[in-house]
């Protein structure tokens, strides 16, 4: 059963049958912006504007980012975190960008994986339609565990979306939704570290 998450809400990444999840996927989805414009002769014209959102994952150890997975670096050195590729427009249904995490392979020193999204093309989240992030159990036919809506959240170009954190009992997922300004993952590192 999926949970509609609010900012700051945490869910335990445990299987309903017991035991911890081993593979999760963070999916980011959004739609191409469609607007109506008046034409010279009083009619209307539908205009679509491509929006380039980027999902990234920051692996944190000892309070520092030790590796970043994004469209320019699609996988960690150990292969535990993999970005499935860059979507430049938001066209298509479902998740437009995904980051897969094999929790059983994440290096022991990594305590948090922080997921961020930025508008590489510079639009604010007030201008982006149907943006959301969700976490799914990749081992069970992408069973949705939780979803967090990003659309309409304000005049910022980036968000620290969520984090997956290692605890003594396994892994947890926390929806963050902290707004920021930036067009690249590197620009968002200080803000992401504030959200730990």
| pLDDT (tens digit per residue) in 47-68 | 666 778 889 999 999 999 999 9
- The CATH architecture that domain 3-33+46-194 belongs to is Sandwich (2.60)
User: Which position has the higher pLDDT, 189 or 117?
Assistant: 189
Q: Which of 32-36, 173-177, 183-187 has the least mean pLDDT?
A: 32-36
Q: What share of the chain is helix, strand, coil (3-state, %, to 5)?
A: 5, 50, 45
For residue range 63-120, what is the model confidence (pLDDT) as tens digits?
A: 999 999 999 999 999 999 999 976 655 555 567 789 999 999 999 999 999 999 898 8
Determine whether 23 is exposed, middle or buried from the number of CB atoms within 10 Å of its CB (0-12, 13-18, 19+): middle
pLDDT at 26: 87
- Domain boundaries of the chain, sorted by first residue: 3-33+46-194
For residue range 124-175, what is the model confidence (pLDDT) as tens digits?
A: 877 777 778 788 878 767 777 777 777 666 788 898 888 899 988 888 888 7
Residues β-bridged to residue 33: 49
pLDDT at 140: 65
pLDDT at 145: 74
């Amino acid at each position: 059963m999926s949970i509609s998450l609010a900012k700051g809400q945490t869910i335990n990444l445990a299987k309903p049958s017991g035991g911890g999840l081993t593979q999760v996927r963070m999916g980011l989805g959004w739609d191409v912006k469609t607007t109506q414009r008046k034409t010279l002769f009083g009619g209307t014209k539908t205009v679509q504007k491509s929006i380039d959102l980027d999902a990234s994952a920051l692996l944190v150890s000892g309070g520092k980012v030790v590796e970043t997975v994004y469209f320019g670096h699609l996988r960690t050195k150990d292969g535990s975190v993999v970005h499935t590729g860059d979507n430049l427009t938001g066209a298509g249904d479902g998740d437009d960008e995904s980051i897969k995490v094999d929790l059983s392979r994440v290096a022991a020193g990594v305590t948090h994986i922080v997921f961020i999204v930025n508008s590489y093309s510079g639009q604010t989240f007030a201008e982006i339609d149907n943006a959301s992030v969700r976490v799914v159990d990749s081992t069970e036919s992408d069973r949705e565990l939780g979803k967090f809506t990003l659309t309409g959240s304000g005049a910022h170009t980036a968000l620290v979306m969520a984090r997956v954190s290692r605890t003594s009992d396994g892994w947890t997922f926390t929806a963050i939704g902290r707004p920021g300004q930036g067009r690249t993952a590197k620009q968002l590192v200080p803000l992401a570290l504030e959200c730990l």
